[in-house]
Amino acid sequence: MKKSEFYEYGVSCFLSKDSIERVLCKVLWCSREDLFLKQDIPASFLYDFQKYVYEFKKWVPESYILWQQEFYGREFYVEPCTLIPRRETELLVDVMRDICLFSADMQTSSYIDIGTWTTCILSSLILELHPLQFQDIYAVDINSAILKLSQRNLERHHIAWVTLLEWSLLSVFLSEKKSLQKTLYISANLPYIKYWDEKNMWNDVVKYEPDSALYGGNKTGFELYTTLLHQCFLLKNTYKLKDIHVCIEIGYDQYDYSQDVLTELWLRFEYFTDFRNIKRVIYISGF
């Protein structure tokens, strides 16, 4: 069959050219470049192609149909129960990369990514900083079911030196002695939506994405982050750390709450704005 016939079928089902190409790459197990070079596609692939297109017609999010999502220019496996990595979150990688690159002791420091799930933040950062490396790297998530997916994504990107931990926030470091260098970097994209805030959320998010990745507390949604900040103080004392640098992603309505909490804790902080002009990432230091 001509490749154009597959495109025509996809367009008739309201798929964009981009989605058609992503489905074709998935069905043919090939890259965009290889797809571009093909003129004909064996008719035997039509059934699989139509199967995926049918899912699109049911308005299932594309990442859940293709079981993967691009983040920071690389593909990550996702599963139907996974939070889909967001474009906004790429800002957290930008900010953390710059902080690490400007720091004198990055290569003698440790790194912890909290709420790691697909490892999209951690893997992107490691690959962006390569060949520079941290001494110890940990990826923590409270949800045991997803650590297999984290491992698959680390393997997909040939990252072998990360310790995966199924724990809440920094509790494991406070209850067991781990190897941590004097300087510590922490990234966290924790759940930060207030419970019962569905009216301000997209339908797709409420319908398909897991609650455990979305809701961060009853009053402000910033509660998990507040606990994390308190744990950073404890960690600094327990391990006699010199510096802790923390980067977190927050919700569109959390500028005021977060500022109050950070000011009350006498921390230094700086906000970074995403492409929608929302204050999305905070860099925190001074623990």
Q: Which C-beta is closer to ligand SAM: that of 55 or that of 79?
A: 79
User: Is the dihedral angle over the CA atoms 61, 64, 65, 70 positive or is it negative?
Assistant: positive
Q: Convert residues 88-107 into a mask of x (bound to ligand SAM by CB under 6 A) and - (unbound).
A: -x------------------
Helix/strand/coil for 166: strand
Distance (Å, rounded) from C-alpha 200 to C-alpha 151?
33
| Cβ 140 to ligand SAM shortest distance, Å | 5
Distance (Å, rounded) from C-alpha 86 to C-alpha 97? 18
Residue number, 40 or 80, with CB nearest to ligand SAM: 80
117 binds ligand SAM (CB under 6 A): yes
CA torsion angle 234 236 240 245 (round to 10): 170
Q: Which stretch binds ligand SAM (CB under 6 A): 4-12, 53-61, 104-112, 140-148?
A: 140-148
Does 231 help bind ligand SAM (rule: CB under 6 A)? no
Residue 184 CA from chain centroid, whole number = 20
Q: Which of 20, 114, 247, 281 binds ligand SAM (CB under 6 A)?
A: 114
Q: Contacting ligand SAM (CB under 6 A), which of 62, 90, 141, 223? A: 141
Q: Which is nearer to ligand SAM, 23 or 190 (CB)?
A: 190
Sign of the CA dihedral 86, 88, 93, 94?
positive
Binding-site member from 23, 149, 213, 229 for ligand SAM (CB under 6 A):
213
Contact (Cβ atoms closer than 8 angstroms) between residue 220 and residue 158: no
| Tokens at 242, concatenated | 């010199």
**Binders of ligand SAM in range 147-186 (CB under 6 A):** 168-169
Interface residue with ligand SAM, options 143, 151, 259, 285 (CB under 6 A): 143
**Hey, how many other C-beta atoms are within 10 angstroms of the C-beta on 180?**
21
Helix, strand, coil share (%) of the chain residues, nearest 5? 45, 20, 35
- Does 83 bind ligand SAM (CB under 6 A)? Our answer is yes
Considering the complex, state which of residue 50 and residue 168 has its C-beta at the smaller distance from ligand SAM: 168
Cβ atoms within 10 A of the Cβ of 111, count?
Answer: 27
- Cβ of residue 35: shortest distance to ligand SAM, in angstroms? 27
Counting contacts by CB under 6 A, is residue 190 touching ligand SAM? Answer: yes
Residue nearest to ligand SAM (CB): 115
Return the ∠ at Cα 238 (arms to 233 and 243), rounded to 5°.
55
Residue numbers of the site for ligand SAM (CB under 6 A)? 83, 85, 89, 114-118, 120-121, 140-143, 146, 168-169, 189-191, 212-213, 224
